[in-house]
Amino acid sequence: MIVRKSPAEVEVMARAGRVVARLHEVVAEAVRPGISTLRLDEIAEREVRNHGAVPSFKGYRGFPATLCTSVNSEIVHGIPSADVVLRDGDLIKIDAGAIVDGYHGDSAVTWIVGDADPSVRDLVERTRAGLWAGLCEARPGNRLTDISAAVEARALPHGYGVVREYVGHGIGRALHEDPHVPNYGRAGRGPKLVPGLVLAVEPMFNLGTAETRVLDDDWTVVTADGALSAHWEHTVAITPDGPWVLTARCDEPAWPLREPSRIPGHAPPVDARGAR
Ligand code: MG
Ligand code: MG
């Protein structure tokens, strides 16, 4: 069941989104060679609680931490650990959620620790461009898979594996609500996008196969072939005036998305299939 939010509820979700945005800004400052993912988690939890908010993930189905920290071939749901120490050239994916007055915000970033090959930087930036291409479609009159197709169109020309087993989702009083938001598929299908719908859009692009497997900790999802993966996510509300990116950080546009030049990674849409 898809739950539409009132304008007042969206305002509360915007407050949750701002906590998540601030968390990412603070944690990003701490990402450097030599820091453990557990230390990043401590910084994140302190930041969330300083705002009077509650971490979304901690305790969610038994997950033990505020952040999911997934390094290199880990795609999502990695568990922070004192034993995982970042090194120059690592790709760290940080996923975080926060609850404010009962409503969740959810956002993920991919940072390169130090420097990396151009092919890795391209993967990261093109995944981010896929996210923003999807967010731009989150407007009234569109259908759900307009988001999906826009995201996928940013991966196909480059041969990236687009993860299918894990997708975006509705969000509100629950971290995961209907509908699923796939990062693949033909445009023009699924529910109509209407004001009050709030979605987490979260593409995961891999340098190799799209296939995944789960490690023995029953949480960490990795690429089946061990290739690198990138993941970006924002929570977006569909408003009468277009998308409102509730988790936008200070260097990103939040709302309204009317100036394409301000959108990270913006470029004319490319679709290898010529379908759009
Ligand atoms: Mg997330
Ligand atoms: Mg999510």
User: Does position 267 have pLDDT exceeding 80, yes or no?
Assistant: no
pLDDT of 253: 79
Ligand 2 centre from 24 Cα, in Å? 15
- Helix pair angle (7-30, 37-50), 10° resolution: 140
Say how many Å lie between the CA of residue 274 and the centre of ligand 1.
31
Quote the pLDDT of residue 276: 28
26 Cα to the center of ligand 1, angstroms: 17
CATH class of 7-266: alpha beta
Coil, helix or strand at residue 269: coil
Tell me the average pLDDT across 171-181.
Answer: 98
Two structure tokens written together for 156: 């196909």
Closest ligand to residue 68's CA = 1
- Is residue 272's pLDDT more than 50? no
Q: Distance from the CA of 127 to the center of ligand 1, in angstroms?
A: 15
Average predicted confidence (pLDDT) for the chain = 93
- Say which ligand is closest to the CA of 174: 2
Cis peptide before 268 (omega within 30 of 0): no
% of the chain beyond a pLDDT of 70: 92
pLDDT at 262 over 60: no
Residue 274 has pLDDT above 50, yes or no: no
Residue type, 272: A
pLDDT at 237 over 50: yes
Nearest ligand to the C-alpha atom of residue 232: 1
* 241 or 94: which leads in pLDDT: 94
Closest ligand to Cα 166: 2
Q: Which ligand is nearest to the CA of 76?
A: 1
Q: Cα separation of 139 and 197, whole Å?
A: 10
**What local confidence, expressed as pLDDT, does residue 270 receive?**
38
Q: Which of 89, 164, 159, 177 is nearest to 123 (CA)?
A: 159
- Report how far ligand 1's centroid is from the alpha carbon of 107 (Å): 5
Give CA angle at 199 (51, 151), nearest 5°.
120
Whole-number Cα distances in Å, 134 to 38, 129, 236: 31, 9, 10
Asked whether the predicted pLDDT for residue 65 surpasses 80, the reply is yes
Question: Encoding tokens for residue 41?
Answer: 């988690």
Rounded to the nearest whole angstrom, what is the distance from the C-alpha of residue 122 to the centroid of ligand 1? 22
Q: Whose atoms come closest to the Cα of 55: which ligand?
A: 1
The residue ranking higher by pLDDT, 264 or 118, is 118
Nearest to 168 by CA among 216, 113, 232, 217: 232
